[in-house]
Structure 1
Amino acid sequence: MSEVALLRRQIEMECEAMRQAMSGFRVAASHDIITNRYNSIGGLQEQLAAIVGEQEAAKIAVEVYIQAIG
Protein backbone atom coordinates (compact mmCIF):
# COMPACT_ATOMS: atom_id res chain seq x y z
CA MET A 1 0.00 0.00 0.00
CA SER A 2 1.39 3.40 -0.95
CA GLU A 3 1.97 6.07 1.65
CA VAL A 4 -0.81 8.18 0.11
CA ALA A 5 -3.26 5.26 0.31
CA LEU A 6 -2.23 4.59 3.91
CA LEU A 7 -2.76 8.22 4.93
CA ARG A 8 -6.10 8.28 3.11
CA ARG A 9 -7.17 5.17 5.04
CA GLN A 10 -6.13 6.78 8.32
CA ILE A 11 -8.23 9.84 7.47
CA GLU A 12 -11.16 7.53 6.67
CA MET A 13 -10.81 5.87 10.08
CA GLU A 14 -10.67 9.23 11.88
CA CYS A 15 -13.76 10.45 10.01
CA GLU A 16 -15.64 7.26 10.85
CA ALA A 17 -14.73 7.64 14.52
CA MET A 18 -15.87 11.26 14.40
CA ARG A 19 -19.17 10.27 12.77
CA GLN A 20 -19.77 7.71 15.48
CA ALA A 21 -18.97 10.24 18.20
CA MET A 22 -21.47 12.70 16.71
CA SER A 23 -24.27 10.16 16.65
CA GLY A 24 -23.33 7.98 19.60
CA PHE A 25 -24.76 7.88 23.08
CA ARG A 26 -21.81 9.86 24.50
CA VAL A 27 -22.90 13.14 22.94
CA ALA A 28 -21.87 15.17 25.98
CA ALA A 29 -18.26 13.98 25.71
CA SER A 30 -18.20 14.04 21.94
CA HIS A 31 -16.99 17.66 21.59
CA ASP A 32 -13.51 16.80 22.87
CA ILE A 33 -13.46 13.60 20.84
CA ILE A 34 -14.48 15.42 17.68
CA THR A 35 -11.92 18.17 18.27
CA ASN A 36 -9.18 15.56 18.70
CA ARG A 37 -10.28 13.79 15.51
CA TYR A 38 -10.23 17.05 13.53
CA ASN A 39 -6.73 17.76 14.83
CA SER A 40 -5.61 14.28 13.87
CA ILE A 41 -7.08 14.66 10.38
CA GLY A 42 -5.24 17.98 10.06
CA GLY A 43 -1.95 16.29 10.88
CA LEU A 44 -2.61 13.53 8.38
CA GLN A 45 -3.51 16.12 5.77
CA GLU A 46 -0.19 17.88 6.41
CA GLN A 47 1.64 14.59 5.86
CA LEU A 48 -0.28 14.12 2.61
CA ALA A 49 0.58 17.67 1.53
CA ALA A 50 4.28 16.86 1.82
CA ILE A 51 3.73 14.09 -0.73
CA VAL A 52 1.06 15.37 -3.13
CA GLY A 53 0.91 19.11 -2.45
CA GLU A 54 -1.46 21.15 -0.32
CA GLN A 55 -4.27 21.43 -2.86
CA GLU A 56 -4.42 17.70 -3.60
CA ALA A 57 -4.15 16.86 0.11
CA ALA A 58 -7.08 19.15 0.88
CA LYS A 59 -9.09 17.59 -1.94
CA ILE A 60 -8.45 14.08 -0.62
CA ALA A 61 -9.32 15.04 2.96
CA VAL A 62 -12.56 16.74 1.91
CA GLU A 63 -13.59 13.81 -0.31
CA VAL A 64 -13.02 11.35 2.52
CA TYR A 65 -14.84 13.59 5.01
CA ILE A 66 -17.88 13.94 2.73
CA GLN A 67 -18.02 10.19 2.15
CA ALA A 68 -17.82 9.42 5.86
CA ILE A 69 -19.87 12.24 7.37
CA GLY A 70 -22.15 13.21 4.51
Structure 2
Amino acid sequence: MAGSEVARLRQQIQAEYEAAKQGLSGLSSGTARHTFIAARYERIGAFHEQLIEMIGPDEAVAVIAHTIWLPIDSGTA
Protein backbone atom coordinates (compact mmCIF):
# COMPACT_ATOMS: atom_id res chain seq x y z
CA MET A 1 0.00 0.00 0.00
CA ALA A 2 2.88 2.41 0.70
CA GLY A 3 3.98 2.07 -2.93
CA SER A 4 0.67 3.31 -4.28
CA GLU A 5 0.60 6.15 -1.75
CA VAL A 6 4.14 7.15 -2.73
CA ALA A 7 3.09 7.09 -6.40
CA ARG A 8 0.08 9.29 -5.62
CA LEU A 9 2.24 11.79 -3.72
CA ARG A 10 4.76 11.76 -6.54
CA GLN A 11 2.02 12.72 -9.02
CA GLN A 12 0.84 15.50 -6.73
CA ILE A 13 4.39 16.80 -6.30
CA GLN A 14 4.85 16.84 -10.07
CA ALA A 15 1.56 18.71 -10.55
CA GLU A 16 2.44 21.33 -7.92
CA TYR A 17 5.93 21.80 -9.35
CA GLU A 18 4.56 22.22 -12.88
CA ALA A 19 2.00 24.74 -11.60
CA ALA A 20 4.77 26.71 -9.89
CA LYS A 21 6.84 26.71 -13.10
CA GLN A 22 3.82 27.93 -15.06
CA GLY A 23 3.36 30.66 -12.46
CA LEU A 24 6.79 32.01 -13.36
CA SER A 25 5.71 32.63 -16.94
CA GLY A 26 2.09 33.58 -16.28
CA LEU A 27 0.45 36.93 -16.80
CA SER A 28 0.22 37.83 -13.11
CA SER A 29 3.07 39.69 -11.49
CA GLY A 30 4.47 40.80 -8.18
CA THR A 31 2.82 39.70 -4.97
CA ALA A 32 0.11 37.61 -6.65
CA ARG A 33 2.69 35.56 -8.54
CA HIS A 34 4.87 35.14 -5.45
CA THR A 35 1.89 34.02 -3.35
CA PHE A 36 0.86 31.48 -5.98
CA ILE A 37 4.34 30.00 -6.32
CA ALA A 38 4.94 29.98 -2.56
CA ALA A 39 1.69 28.08 -2.03
CA ARG A 40 2.79 25.42 -4.53
CA TYR A 41 6.11 24.95 -2.74
CA GLU A 42 4.41 24.83 0.66
CA ARG A 43 2.27 21.96 -0.62
CA ILE A 44 5.36 20.18 -1.91
CA GLY A 45 6.82 20.60 1.58
CA ALA A 46 3.72 19.00 3.11
CA PHE A 47 3.99 16.09 0.66
CA HIS A 48 7.66 15.77 1.63
CA GLU A 49 6.69 15.42 5.29
CA GLN A 50 4.24 12.66 4.38
CA LEU A 51 6.92 10.86 2.39
CA ILE A 52 9.34 11.07 5.32
CA GLU A 53 6.80 9.31 7.52
CA MET A 54 6.30 6.58 4.92
CA ILE A 55 9.77 5.91 3.54
CA GLY A 56 12.28 7.88 5.62
CA PRO A 57 14.08 11.18 5.03
CA ASP A 58 16.75 10.07 2.56
CA GLU A 59 14.36 8.20 0.30
CA ALA A 60 11.85 11.08 0.51
CA VAL A 61 14.43 13.53 -0.81
CA ALA A 62 15.34 11.10 -3.59
CA VAL A 63 11.68 10.72 -4.63
CA ILE A 64 11.21 14.48 -4.82
CA ALA A 65 14.48 15.02 -6.68
CA HIS A 66 13.67 12.35 -9.26
CA THR A 67 10.15 13.72 -9.61
CA ILE A 68 10.93 17.37 -10.29
CA TRP A 69 14.42 17.36 -11.77
CA LEU A 70 14.85 16.16 -15.30
CA PRO A 71 18.30 15.12 -16.59
CA ILE A 72 18.42 18.35 -18.61
CA ASP A 73 18.01 20.34 -15.37
CA SER A 74 21.17 18.80 -13.92
CA GLY A 75 23.20 19.11 -17.11
CA THR A 76 23.48 15.34 -17.57
CA ALA A 77 21.32 15.09 -20.68
When normalised by structure 1's length, the TM-score is: 0.86
The structure that has the greater radius of gyration is 2
Q: How far, CA to CA, are the matches of 1:24 and 1:58 in structure 2? A: 28
* Aligned with 1:48 (options 29, 47, 51): 51
Poorly superposed stretches of 4+, deviation over 6 Å: none
- Percent of counterpart pairs with the same letter? 40
User: Aligned AA for 1:40?
Assistant: R
Q: Larger relative contact order (C-alpha < 8 A, sep ≥ 6)?
A: 1
Q: How far, CA to CA, are the matches of 2:65 and 2:36 in structure 1? A: 19
Structure 2: gaps spanning 5 or more residues: none
Kindly indicate which of the two structures has a greater share of residues assigned to helix: 1
What is the root-mean-square deviation in Å for CA atoms of aligned residues? 1.5
* Aligned with 2:26 (options 14, 24, 36): 24
Q: Does 1:14 align with 2:10?
A: no
Question: 1:49 Cα deviation (Å)?
Answer: 1.0
Structure 1: gaps spanning 5 or more residues: none
Question: 1:27 Cα deviation (Å)?
Answer: 2.9
Superimposed CA distance per residue, residues 32-67 of structure 1 (whole angstroms, 9 cap, x where no aligned partner): 111111110000011011111111111111222223
Residue in 2 that maps onto 1:37: 40
